[in-house]
Amino acid sequence: MSKPKRYDRIAFVASTVPEAQAALVQLTEIYGNCAPEEADVVVALGGDGLMLQTLHKHMRSGRPIYGMHRGTVGFLMNEFSSHDLRTRLAAARESVIHPLLMRATDNKGEIHVHHAFNEVYLYRQTYQAARLRILIDEQERMPELIADGVLVATPAGSTAYNLSVQGPILPINAALLALTPISAFRPRRWRGALLPNTAYVTIEVLEGEKRPVAAVADHDEVRDVRRVEVLSDKTISMRMLFDPGHSLEERILREQFGN
């Protein structure tokens, strides 16, 4: 049996909401607050928005991230408690996630590269529906999708925007991505597709001058895109820590049964 990992040096980060700031002061008094570059673990205090920011900021550091809920939405967070944090960290279960890499080309030919841990989505910028062409591994799969947009979600992000537009919930360890339309008009009955996480997804914008489209990777937006390429970036592995019985796998399973 492997020895439990030690997390002696903790770096705390907190959102700006009063509850998170109060927790930051309380925990710093008890455990200290190490600089992130010297820490064994980063503990995020807030909601899912702060967790996404923390994952992005530390995605190349190799340090595990443990969240405690002191915000609004806390799907990616553990329950807050100031008691015996190091013991909780040592007992935590680890989930490894890979972000999506988005490469978006705008109508000026400029290329924008961003990562997304939840999803990459395209959406119409005006009152007119977007017209999109979808290719998977450079093979055309849908010559024209007329919709408000379309998204590619990771398993970790499948319970976020993807779920709200009736996309499938994916087990966290599933080697899959969800390709989900946003308010599809044509083909009207298309509900999306499940793709292997090795898929190279290309979405081309048709009539971009008349029907402008934006692309978003988590919180990074690119306006007036003409072409968006998406793939899972296996060069980045983020380790997220969850209390036993409250793992990301368990939360996603509960979500599928409406719990």
Active site residues: 48
Nearest of 247, 227, 246 to residue 108 by alpha carbon: 227
CA dist 204 and 183 (Å) reads 18
Long-range contacts (CB closer than 8 Å, 24 or more residues apart) made by 35-40: 35/11, 36/11, 36/61, 36/63, 37/61, 38/9, 38/11, 39/9, 39/10, 39/11, 39/63, 40/5, 40/6, 40/7, 40/8, 40/9, 40/10
Which residue has 């009207």 as its token pair? 188
